[in-house]
């Protein structure tokens, strides 16, 4: 069975500008959910526009379900690609009720069948009995569900989602991320999501590509991106953390201001090499009995936990995630120790990107 999506060697530029995408590539298996994650201007939405057929590419090719849909001189029209698109602004028709919005792309079916299919999809996205409502009568979350139902109605080979939850508040965004993932998995729909929100990316996607300047820096599972970033850029961009200076030792270990790290598998460090060690907040443990102490310089309450910013004796700072019943004051000194399960380090001389 061919992949649901294959992009290889893609190069794209808007008229009169440098390339937005260069040698870009990825693949999605049938039923897989992928995500492009990155800062504004890195090319995420341009990838989606090329896959949808809204932009012609200069080099490379795009295949959907094994069918070549984009190449230099070839740009299959959007309507012939069998892709569904959910836009950031929902793009619902204000003069149509929910049923007719969802049924809009089902031209091949008789009207009763179109409306029945639309009603079934509205129920599937959690909006049963809402078919007669108009977009202006719905909340933001409800409008987004209608837009998703409309995109799924023609049973697309591939669903594209462009920052689909960016207009929603945090709690609703998180809930919808999980609900939409469950719906896509239930229907077996392959999807490619674009977002700058890593929580959204991790909640929805099987595979995530962290983008930088038109290329994918790392294409991996959310777990591997967090615990095994392959570059400084990915380490900085994904999750909370700091890069702490250290020194590689002959024993394949790292000496740090917080004590030695016994083993760094796969770090490819040579003895005496200055390194930067990635420390996540859960790597720095609060321990009242620890001889090493650090000063609380700021804290963020997260319900079950505090995220503390701690200043070491040499002035450098680290982050620590501490259960919230340990409510320490700014300026207080607390005991800390390292408990690093996933050791990630980069040569300090490497380009700080």
Rounded to 5 degrees, what are φ and ψ at 299?
A: -150, 150
Q: What is the domain extent for residue 297?
A: 240-347
Angle, vertex CA 254, rays to CA 252 and CA 257, nearest 5: 165
Q: Which of 232, 250, 279 is the last residue of a domain?
A: 232
pLDDT band at 265 (very low <50, low <70, confident <90, very high): low
pTM as predicted: 0.87
Distance in angstroms (rounded) separating the CA atoms of residues 267 and 253:
10
- Calculate mean pLDDT across residues 224-237: 91
Rounded to 5 degrees, what are φ and ψ at 61?
A: -155, 160
Answer whether residue 352 is part of any domain. no
Does 163 share its domain with 54?
yes
Does 110 share its domain with 143?
yes
Total domain count for the chain?
A: 2
pLDDT digits (tens, 9 = 90+) for 329-350: 999 999 999 888 888 888 885 5
Does 298 share its domain with 271?
yes
Which structure tokens are listed for 94? 């204000």
Region of 23 (left: φ > 0; alpha: ψ -120 to 50; beta: rest) is: left
Q: In what order do the strands lie in the sheet with 158-162?
A: 83-86, 158-162, 191-195, 33-37, 207-212, 215-220
Q: Which of 197, 232, 267 is the last residue of a domain?
A: 232
Does 180 share its domain with 247?
no
Rounded to 5 degrees, what are φ and ψ at 36?
A: -105, 120
Give 17's DSSP letter. S
What spatial distance separates the first Cα and last Cα of the chain, rounded to whole Å?
A: 39
Distance in angstroms (rounded) separating the CA atoms of residues 175 and 124:
15
Q: Which of 232, 265, 288 is the last residue of a domain?
A: 232
Answer whether residue 207 is part of any domain. yes
Does 176 share its domain with 323?
no
pLDDT recorded at residue 351: 46
Q: Residue 77's domain is classified under what CATH number?
A: 3.40.50.300
How many CB atoms sit inside 10 A of residue 11's CB? 17
Question: Are 156 and 188 spatial neighbours (Cβ–Cβ below 8 Å)?
Answer: no
User: Which residues is 284 bridged to in the sheet?
Assistant: 338
Sign of the alpha-carbon torsion through 86, 195, 38, 67: negative
Which structure tokens are listed for 108? 């091949």
Does 12 share its domain with 110?
yes
pLDDT digits (tens, 9 = 90+) for 195-209: 998 989 999 999 999
pLDDT over 90 at 262, yes or no: no
Distance in angstroms (rounded) separating the CA atoms of residues 3 and 91:
29
Does 268 share its domain with 336?
yes
Question: Are 184 and 26 spatial neighbours (Cβ–Cβ below 8 Å)?
Answer: no
Question: Are 296 and 332 spatial neighbours (Cβ–Cβ below 8 Å)?
Answer: yes
Does 140 share its domain with 287?
no
Angle, vertex CA 137, rays to CA 135 and CA 139, nearest 5: 85
pLDDT digits (tens, 9 = 90+) for 105-164: 888 888 899 999 999 999 988 899 999 999 999 988 889 889 989 998 998 999 999 988
pLDDT recorded at residue 347: 85
Pairing outcome for strands 254-256 and 259-261: antiparallel
């Amino acid at each position: 069975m061919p992949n649901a999506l294959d992009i290889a060697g893609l190069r794209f530029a808007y008229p009169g500008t440098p390339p937005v995408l260069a040698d870009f590539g990825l693949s999605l298996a049938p039923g897989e959910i992928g995500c492009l994650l990155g800062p504004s201007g890195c090319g995420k939405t341009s990838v989606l526009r090329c896959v949808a057929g809204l932009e012609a590419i200069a080099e490379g090719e795009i295949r959907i379900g094994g069918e070549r849909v984009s190449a230099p001189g070839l740009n299959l029209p959007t309507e012939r690609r069998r892709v569904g698109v959910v836009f950031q602004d929902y793009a619902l028709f204000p003069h149509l009720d929910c049923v007719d919005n969802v049924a809009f792309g089902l031209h091949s079916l008789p009207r009763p069948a179109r409306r029945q299919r639309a009603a079934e999809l509205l129920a599937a996205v959690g909006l049963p009995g809402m078919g007669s409502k108009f977009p202006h009568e719905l909340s933001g979350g409800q409008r987004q569900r209608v837009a998703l139902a409309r995109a799924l109605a023609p049973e697309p080979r591939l669903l594209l989602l462009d920052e689909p939850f960016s207009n929603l508040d945090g709690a609703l965004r998180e809930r919808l991320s999980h609900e939409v993932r469950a719906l896509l998995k239930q229907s077996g729909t392959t999807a490619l999501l674009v977002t700058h929100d890593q929580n959204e990316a991790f909640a929805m996607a099987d595979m995530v590509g962290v983008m930088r300047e038109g290329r994918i820096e790392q294409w991996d599972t959310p777990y591997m991106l967090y615990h095994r970033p392959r570059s400084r850029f990915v380490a900085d961009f994904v999750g909370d953390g700091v890069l702490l200076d250290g020194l590689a030792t002959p024993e394949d270990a790292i000496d740090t201001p917080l004590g030695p790290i016994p083993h760094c598998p796969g770090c490819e460090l040579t003895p005496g090499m200055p390194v930067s060690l990635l420390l996540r907040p859960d790597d720095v443990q609060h321990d009242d009995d620890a001889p090493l102490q650090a000063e609380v310089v700021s804290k963020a309450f997260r319900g079950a936990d505090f995220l503390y910013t701690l200043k070491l004796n040499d002035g450098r700072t680290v982050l620590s995630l501490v259960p919230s019943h340990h409510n320490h004051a700014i300026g207080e000194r607390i005991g800390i120790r390292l408990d690093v399960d996933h050791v990630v380090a980069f040569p300090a001389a490497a380009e700080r990107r």
